[in-house]
Structure 1
Amino acid sequence: MAGFEWGRQKASPALRLSTGLVVAGAIALAAGAVVPVSPDAGAGFLSWPLLVLLAVVPAGVVVAAVGSGRHGLAAGLIAGLVAFAPGRLVLDGQFLVNGAKTVRPELYLPDRLLDRSAVGAGFWLLVAGHVLTVAAGLVAARVARELNESAGSEPGQRRWRLVVPLLTVVAAVGLLMTPVLSDDPFLLARSAFEGPGVALVGYLLLAGALPIAAVLGLSAASDGVARGTLGGVSAAVFAVALPGLVAGLVVNGLQVSTGAYLALAPTVLVLILAPLTTPQEAKTEGADLAGEARVPSLTLWRSLTALLALLTAVAAAIGALAPQLGTATESPARWQLFAAAIVVVLPVPFVLVRRTAPAARGLLAVVWAGVVLAGTAVLSTAITASEATGLGGLGGAISYHLGLGAVFTAVALGLAGLTALSAVITGVVERDDVGTEGPRSPVLVPAAVAAVLAVGSFGMPVFTAPSYSAPGLWSDFDTPSWGLLTALLVVLGVLALGVRSRPGAAAVAYVGGALLLALHVVELPLVGSTIDGARPGLGFWLGLGAAVAAAVAAVTAAAGAKSAE
């Protein structure tokens, strides 16, 4: 075996080790699909043939790629698979913490009411499979890096390099939604944000890793690594989402969810586009130009950003004005969401005007977070009510049905994420056209002040009231807290990037940050006015100070841009 030749070119020891680890991991995952994960409940249907295929087929493709000398493809496949391994490991950890709260009918579907359940040998086999996959990825990362270095430092023009990340964001949104719909009284199917904490962390790791892995794969200098990473990511999404879709089709009391379709349909497109992302041995300059012609123009991306922002604003407005539940239930945060919709829609017409497009696009890259900030607060009304669904009382079982407002608010959150990604990609294309040379903006002091005050503002309640506990970042972490965290990270990001940006771009970023802080501060008049005894909290005054500091930074940067002319 020491002199064994793998195909046309001998595989490096690192690649052979990585291949062996990923094969061992696949075998462990396949065994975990056959052996029960818990002695208290079994699979809801004959799922092990499907789960075994989903585990062993990607590993088999890796072995075939190594055997045929396509080492870049093999390393990329392993890298794509390992991107999901940590999230899948944490997600499976819910079996250990409290299996009764899992929504995994392909592995665990109780036939009686369970408070807790033990774990079986199948659980430990799944853990071993994920750990072995992570180990394989660590080794394959070195191989991929060497292949990228030998291919050159620049990846060149990738076909579909701007479309594939958008598809992965849509799939990531699907992963966060309810994996399967359930009328089964022993399976309470919930979305990631409504379920237990361990499962939430797992789903967040999966949703975050998906677009990041796709972008990193497309930026690889080696064509094989780029295509392999997209293929590995697609296989990992299938392994997570496809069993839920099949369960919805074949198990009595379960139905296919929208989340399953959102996760799988874009992933199928990514898998189809994966071999087309790079030119196939282009031999002439004309062939290379033909490959580049597939990249959408700057005008197209600006139009797409404007369209997504408009759809986000419309969905947010409907979500704010329509009832959250089947009755006339309204959320106290609805007017804050409506204000966020207005802030998002105002720059849209200017994105389509060449002179004002960069500034309007820059604003959209920031203010989208206002929809998340207010939208999560609006959704908490429906989520709180849904937690009471099925509970018995003096009047019998409590039953709630989501209203149009809750549905469109959830849609607005997904569209806001797509708007952000499209705006960022458009900015990258703009910088490719105009370059990044020029002086930097001297706004370190006001930006630093705004950052410190922003942390305090989003961490403290904007208003206080008797018998009212506001969701926060440090305590009472609830659904609205995710909006607070998102907005805080966006504000800190633009304040940090503005210091290293040209004065004009920095001014736009700081204006966006000031608007986002203002949306947070107006929670006092828009939301607090509906609560008796509300008075300004520390978060209001800190947010007001942060908004002023960000505005000062914007004015300073704008003055620098004017003097540079």
Structure 2
Amino acid sequence: MTLRITTPPAADSAADASPGPRIGWAESPSRLRLAFAVAAAGAVAQVAGPLIGLVDASPAAAFASIPLLVLLAVLPPVVATALAVAGRPIVAAGVLVGAALLTPGRFLGDLQFLLDPLVVSRPEVMVPTSLAPLRAGAGLWVLLVGHLLVIAAGLMAANRAGAPYGTPYAAELDDEVRQRSAPLGLVAGVVAAFGLQLPPFTSGNAFLLAEGLIDSPWLLRFALLAAGAGVVAAALVGAGSRPSVARGVSVGAALGVLAITAPQIAAGLWVALLDAAPGPYVALLAAAGLAVSLWVTTRAHGRSEPVRIAGVLGLLAGLAGIAAGTTTVIAVNGVAQETYSNRLFLPAGILVAALALPLLFSKTATALRPAFAAALAAIPLAGMSTLDAVVTATAVDATVGTGAAVWFTAAAGALAAAAAVVALVAGNAERGEVEERPLDLVLVAPLAVAGLLAIGAFGLPVVKATGLVPPGIWTEFRLASLGLLLAALTVVVAVALTPLSRPHRAGALLLGCAGLVGVRVLEYPLTAARAAGSVPGPGLWLSLACTAALVVAGLMVLSRR
């Protein structure tokens, strides 16, 4: 018996398989090299300003923010210089341009310190303790000069950066074809701009106002609008530019959004009387989506690039999952409560991060991509359980509030979804012509057993106890049931696709599913203490059997390479 499956063509074009010729540092335009120096000087000034003091006799900051501010200031010039040294000066120039597009908004926002520091909600800089008037300090002028230098660096790097026609830099720009459209990037840019207009956090401190576009003073309104316009401009530039330029601008814009939102996120998570708000998370995730969409839709760096992007997104999703599993889910009157719903995030995050790391390296990326794609279902498996507990608790008692784990759950889910899309794009790029392959009937039995066991593993409870009503697929269908259903479907679809796939891809896919079911197995030791007198449920034994069946089937497939 034979099946028609896809295999890659015998030979791919060099343009698809490898990036274009590298341009050495000495071959980069002199104006671009000067732009790197100007950007570095701008970063130094952006660090020196807060150190000197943006306000005379300034109240203390809410947390030790200097390391974070230093990192955010130096990231754009460091990333750009590293790309230029690596032989990608056009992408590096785009990074400087993208960062510069966000800087006018930051400049206007910091200019508010000159008018009235009391209305500037910047806990990473200061937290006022009274209504006594404050005056701008010498550090403010240094910071504003730093912003102007960053803008100047972006202007110097724009267009051809002064490269004469006939030079390698100009020739590469001429050889690349402009992008016609990037609809996902445009949507991501608009969403990021919207997120920047929302309040940075929620505040219970009368001296720290949590205001968005509508409630802000007039200058801060212009600052928010300018920042949003910068993100949209970056998306428009990416939609109509050459691939190298689009990639660099999207990364620079994402770093610019990070510089705005990271202190807001940190304040919402760590500062007393402040809580996280969705605006910064929406803006940051959408800006990351802008960068990912433009990198995926351009082909200047070959087919392996989407796999690496999926690896980066998966690594971030895994880290966010680990954070969600180790932080507060709910609090009553500000006091954190012990919960079990998010504990599954710890093994899920570790699994996804562990499989994402090999995707960053070309030698292991293709082989482990199927396993990574299957394991991503562990994030919604844990995330839906966490959100189910939050929805239930907050609906019962108005004094119940949410903790940082909820935001990490949202971030992990969004990153995992993006990683899954990019991984599917990468998998589709690996397919090519159709050829005949025999169907191995020996595999039918273990695959069928694994599929049936998966349905029971996720459909039946892992923990049983008197009075405990866990979510299920057929009964007690709740928000957490969506995660169970997705995980079960992932295994069933993987089992069905195995006979149609190449042996090494199919084996990796089954082993990734074994890791997913293994996360379900760990639910019992991690959450059994939630109910007195708990005992293992049928779902635990079926999960163990399903894991074993998937491992056996995966090894059988790999042995037939």
Q: TM-score, normalised by structure 2?
A: 0.47
- Which structure would you say has the larger RCO, counting Cα contacts within 8 Å and 6 or more residues apart? 2
TM-score (norm 1): 0.46
